[in-house]
Structure 1
Amino acid sequence: MFLLLSIVAFGLIYYLYIKPLWYWRSRNVPYENPLPIFGNMVKPIFRREHILSVLNRIYRKFPNAQYFGFINFHQTVLVIKDPELIKKVTVKDFDVFPRHRAIASDDIDPLLSKNLFSIQDIHKWRHFRATLSPSFTSSKLRMMFDLMQECAQNFANYFLQKGDEIIEVDLKDACRRFATDVIATAAFGITCNSLENQNNEFYIMGRDVTNFGRIKALKFFLITTSPALMKFLRIGLFGDEVTKFFTRIVSDNIRIREKQNIVRPDMINLLLEARKGKAKKERPEPKDQELDSFAAVEESEIIQKDASWQMEISDQDITAQALIFFLGGFETTSTMMSFAFAELAVKPEAQKKLHKEIDEVFEKTGGKIKYEDIQRMKYMDMVTSETLRKWPAFLDREAVKPYTISQDNGKPPLKIKKGDIIWIPVYSIHHDPKHFPNPENFDPERFSDERKHEIKPFTYLPFGMGPRNCIGSRFALLEAKIALFNILRHFEIVSIGKQTVPFKLDVTQIGPNLRGEYVFGLKKRNLNAVSN
């Protein structure tokens, strides 16, 4: 019996962790030698190198390759580099690569598995996407502008009340608190004022959910690489506390709205209307060259096809969408804002240009800025676009049917099987000198009217491409710009020697974050001198 179990165990270990080591060699795909069990993930899992740095190192090792192979523990991943191939995967052949890889099951992590990012059923995803996309049109953002601006003014006023000439601020924490306030009011109709009320429920819950310490990071890696095992062990990423909190918040919100006939221009209202069969079809809003950010992505018309407006939507479905919207703002958008502030702190000439533009808009409007005023700020858009170029992550797709990648170099075509995983190394593409000269330099001028035409299609991908791009790109960009406007109107961001320059990625975090403290200084500006 012991011998039999040993043979079975050895067979499983060989099949799961040894056999994949030669997978890419057998497919004639360039790769970096992996190690048993961990594959190419040894350094990230032991926090010796960030996953983005690992991908970037391998990316540069094969400069002329269309793609390269990667082993994520026992999972084989094809990492694609070629812009034309990226276009095929994300847009032209979307029917082959329509979803992200599943990382959660409905019965263990329902809020994680049922949100727009994670939904596996393509028809259900399309219905939800079509239902939610009107939440992020320019017309809806105009309605939300005043709510965001009020949060941003509170954000700036909190620091203006302090008497210090230079105020030490943890920018990441401050941006998270601002993002919490914006999402709480825009999506849930709740006022938090997270800087004054440091321990409000929304902020505490957001910090808990996004804090990928050692245990949660290990769970995340296991869930992404061995979902079947984690499902068998009934281990999810989120605990019951998170599920209960957001279920309670959304349920109370729905009950109050229905009881008092409250209508607000947000995603919860759209989902409630869809549940009642009252949702109205809206065509995807085309990109407005004057008012939209360069980084904003357009909604694909494919979303409207076969969209049913009488689909069954549960309270749990609504809660799942509210949760992913909250997490996107709390972590992703706040990270973008904190990176922008940090880059401006060590790039005073760029900050000076942005100060000048902000002062001109403030004087022109008498301080009563509107949606259009923010959106027409060209240098502001250049700063946010460059921040997103320098500090993105990576994208993933899963093949739902076989696919063939043809090659022009005489090599045989590469066969993709159903279930194969594709990664798009956006960080590496954005740091490739072929696409962006001197890529480590923070240079907003790349996105000036005179130079932005030099950016090749499908080499700038901060919010993804194709139908599965980020639905909230316009919301995130507007939120970040409003925060930058209100803080920089009153303050200069300065380095106080608590951050190493040049900036490095934090190897203890899964997503892009700065190594070390995010502590910078807010130095009050002499606005009398500015107006004179």
Structure 2
Amino acid sequence: MYLELVAILLTTLFVWDYLRFRRHNKMYAAAGIRGPTCYPFVGNAPMMINESPKTVFDLQFRLIAQYGKNVKIQMMGERGFMTADPKMIEAIMSSQQTIQKNNLYGLLTNWLGDGLLVSKGQKWFRRRKIITPAFHFKILEDFVEVFDQQSAIMAQQLHAKADGKTVINMFPVACLCAMDIIAETAMGVKINAQLQPDFPYVQSVKNASATLAERFMNPLQRQDALMRLFYPKVLDKLNDSVSNMHSFTNSVITERRDLLQKSLAGNAPLLNDVGQKRRMALLDVLLQSTIDGAPLSNEDIREEVDTFMFEGHDTTTSSIAFTCYLLARNPEAQALAFQEIRDVLGDDKSAPVTMQQLGELKYLECVIKESLRLFPSVPLIGRHITQDTMLAGKLIPAHSDVVILIYHAQRDPEYFPEPEKFLPERFSMERKGEINPFAYTPFSAGARNCIGQKFAMLEMKSTISKMLRHFELLPLGEEVQPVLNLILRSSTGINVGIKPRVY
């Protein structure tokens, strides 16, 4: 009797699962989107369980080779497709019907709340409108000084290892520098991460980022209930880190708001510790913003400041580290970049750099863009389709999750001849217009493109040019093994050697 009941229950569940997704399956078949065999309830999870973050890129390449650039996929109860097709990517990124992020981004709400990265609908639109002025070129111009100062600290810290023999993993080095930069530009505070890497806020950011990356990749960690059951200490550590970060951010916001109100009451400019006019931070733009005439609450502001901190350190860390790695292994490109830097910035390594000068580093920009093609900081992004939508001539059913495979699209030989080669000249002015803008989307595109991409490019130019002014980069250490994560990393480190420049 017991076995009969179990059999009836399982049969009922199988039928329910089939009926639940029958319409989805028919519509995907009609659209010509195929994929690997899906099993009841678990979908393609068994296939993914056999993969590690180090091999999932290879799996995705194999699926594309077998099923085409649009691959039907199911993970537990979520159904949709992956795409590396620039035509489909253009349709998705250009449509107002497909700007909602998928459910995985919900893992970030504990830290980021409902900030710009994860918000949707009218809230997202209003926040985007408020934050856009924070990246006005006048504000960015002031930030260049921060980029230059913090990059100089990074170079100074590295001189002790500049023997041409020591292997340096650039990821943690660039991470501390990027953290100093984003804290000072977003919040207007110095956290001195490079000089004090054990500072509690710095450790909390690192712990939270690492734990969230693991949760994205491990299905057993995607639900708090499962985390509490199988990984209670990890969840406790994450919650403690988030609590510490929120406390720090709240204290900065409160202090900054009080200073701003005193300044407005006295009709006097904000001054720093040495009596100079205080540099505008992204936080100040938020403090002075309103929605329907009402100021943003401290919680509203904290969501966006935390989002700046989250998005603004790991992404640039990845791109700076991979660019240094590629320059170390492509000496001709490094020589061209270095000569341009000397021509534009001169030979005085201590001379401050201006925004105009960074803009003149055209070849270095090509180097960074080609690095982002091969190793995009964000290798994939997710969207959720809420209603039946026609995309690139294919009718996609409602409640579909879409994964845009940026890493794979940017290595498509149809759009990038010799895709595995590092060729910065792809992005030269002479070849402008040759690259399909939706085959190359390291900053996304459309309505939800990266709001801070100009900020990021200036930061990368400043930091990498500082490295090249001080050091020759050498091809030491293991080759990279890209790992799918919140951002692109390498399981073997992103390694270089350095020796002092003599000129």
Alignment TM class, shorter chain as reference: 0.7 to 0.9
Say yes or no: does 1:401 pair with 2:387.
yes
**Which residue in the other structure is 2:115 paired with?**
115
Distance change >3 Å, CA 260–CA 506, structure 1 → 2: closer
1:499 to 466, 478, 481: 478
Aligned length: 477
**Which residue in the other structure is 2:59 paired with?**
54
**Which residue in the other structure is 1:350 paired with?**
333
Residue pairs, 1:126-165, within 5 angstroms: 126-161=125-160, 164-165=163-164
Deviation sequence 1:314-362 (CA, Å, 0-9, x none): 3222222122211212211101111101111111111111111111122
**Which residue in the other structure is 1:420 paired with?**
400
> Residues of 1 paired with 2:231 and 2:19: CA distance?
26
**Which residue in the other structure is 1:32 paired with?**
36
> Residues of 2 paired with 1:146 and 1:360: CA distance?
20
Secondary structure, aligned partner of 1:459: coil
1:85 to 82, 85, 88: 88
Secondary structure, aligned partner of 2:288: helix
Distance change >3 Å, CA 376–CA 406, structure 1 → 2: closer
1:371: Cα distance to partner?
A: 0.7
Deviation sequence 1:54-76 (CA, Å, 0-9, x none): 2222223345x6x2212233421
Secondary structure, aligned partner of 2:497: strand
1:323 to 277, 289, 306: 306
Unaligned residue ranges in structure 1 (runs of 5+): 278-307, 408-413, 528-532
**Which residue in the other structure is 1:513 paired with?**
489
Say yes or no: does 1:360 pair with 2:339.
no
**Which residue in the other structure is 1:267 paired with?**
282
Residue pairs, 1:473-492, within 5 angstroms: 473-492=453-472
Whether the aligned pair in 2 keeps the contact of 1:166 and 1:524 (CA below 8 Å) is no
Unaligned residue ranges in structure 2 (runs of 5+): 261-269, 271-277
Question: Which amino acid letter does the alignment assign opposite residue 112 of structure 1?
Answer: L
Say yes or no: does 1:438 pair with 2:421.
no
Question: Which amino acid letter does the alignment assign opposite residue 425 of structure 1?
Answer: L
> Residues of 1 paired with 2:460 and 2:419: CA distance?
22
Distance change >3 Å, CA 210–CA 247, structure 1 → 2: closer
Distance change >3 Å, CA 491–CA 24, structure 1 → 2: farther
Whether the aligned pair in 2 keeps the contact of 1:103 and 1:113 (CA below 8 Å) is no
Could you tell which deviates more after superposition, 362-371 or 188-197? 362-371
> Residues of 2 paired with 1:14 and 1:233: CA distance?
31
Say yes or no: does 1:429 pair with 2:409.
yes
Residue pairs, 1:268-417, within 5 angstroms: 268-274=283-289, 277=290, 308-310=291-293, 313-363=296-346, 367-392=351-376, 393-405=379-391, 407=393, 414-417=394-397
**Which residue in the other structure is 2:186 paired with?**
187
**Which residue in the other structure is 2:100 paired with?**
99
> Residues of 2 paired with 1:24 and 1:230: CA distance?
32
Say yes or no: does 1:73 pair with 2:76.
yes
> Residues of 2 paired with 1:140 and 1:16: CA distance?
53
Whether the aligned pair in 1 keeps the contact of 2:93 and 2:447 (CA below 8 Å) is yes
Whether the aligned pair in 2 keeps the contact of 1:220 and 1:237 (CA below 8 Å) is no
Could you tell which deviates more after superposition, 23-32 or 424-433? 23-32
**Which residue in the other structure is 1:464 paired with?**
444
1:176: Cα distance to partner?
A: 0.4
Could you tell which deviates more after superposition, 214-223 or 323-332? 214-223
1:6: Cα distance to partner?
A: 6.9
1:238: Cα distance to partner?
A: 8.2
Whether the aligned pair in 2 keeps the contact of 1:102 and 1:113 (CA below 8 Å) is no
1:125: Cα distance to partner?
A: 0.6
Secondary structure, aligned partner of 1:453: coil
Using the aligned pairs only, state the percent identity: 23
> Residues of 1 paired with 2:180 and 2:65: CA distance?
41
Question: Which amino acid letter does the alignment assign opposite residue 342 of structure 1?
Answer: Y
> Residues of 2 paired with 1:311 and 1:16: CA distance?
48
1:230: Cα distance to partner?
A: 8.4
TM-score of the superposition, structure 1-length normalised? 0.80
TM-score of the superposition, structure 2-length normalised? 0.84
- Measured on the aligned residues, the alpha-carbon RMSD in Å equals 3.4
More helix by share: 2
Distance change >3 Å, CA 353–CA 132, structure 1 → 2: same
